Amino acid sequence: MLEQVESPESHESGERRKRNREATRQRLLEAARALFGEHGYDHVSVRMIAATADANVALVNRYFGSKAELFGEVLAGESSLETVITGEPEGLARRLAEHYVRQVHRGPSSPIFRMLDRSVGNPEIRPILTQHLESVVVKALVDRLEGPNPRARALLAATVIMGTNPVRRLLGLQDLKEIDSDALTERLTTIFETALAPID
């Protein structure tokens, strides 16, 4: 049997469809990112995401499977913290401090922290949030720590990292913004060094 060969026109059409799919998928991700960050998981519907992305509502399930899986994919693409942690073990505390200071000065809290803060109570996505925090923060830190109690030390550092947004939301960070960035980084470096140091 002869193999059927695509015409150049059909190949071009297929490429165009692929580009359109990718563009629509990206719009859905961006819409979900903004809406989850603003309203939290519970108050965002698939229809809202599709309308914001100017896409057919059926495409959310076709491309992502469900709203929960879409949330998970948005979450997976958001964490700049993963890059900070996965560098060389030497200098980890300093990199965490610098990351914290960047979060302080970036203005309104980032979508990732708003998503976590406003969605953590939902049982449908709790496993997704737990897995994300476990793999991206805790396990990544544990893998770079030597000595006893690495998980406890990683959790202590994670508590400092993840506490920025609740403090920002309830009390504001203006006082921290007024501190010299280098001085704030030095102090936070000491805090992270202490948190990550072996516990006797």
DSSP one-letter string for the chain: -PPP---HHHHHHHHHHHHHHHHHHHHHHHHHHHHHHHH-STT--HHHHHHHHTS-THHHHHHHSSHHHHHHHHHHTT-SHHHHHTS-STTHHHHHHHHHHHHHHTSSPPHHHHHHHHHTT-TTTHHHHHHHIIIIIIIHHHTT--SS-HHHHHHHHHHHHHTHHHHHHHH-SHHHHTS-HHHHHHHHHHHHHHHHSPP-
Walk along the chain (200 residues) and give the pLDDT tens digit of each residue. 344 444 455 455 777 777 788 999 999 999 999 998 888 888 999 999 999 999 999 999 999 999 999 999 988 876 678 889 988 889 999 999 999 998 888 755 556 666 777 777 788 888 988 888 898 899 999 999 999 999 999 999 999 988 877 787 788 889 999 999 999 999 999 999 999 999 87
pTM of the model: 0.73
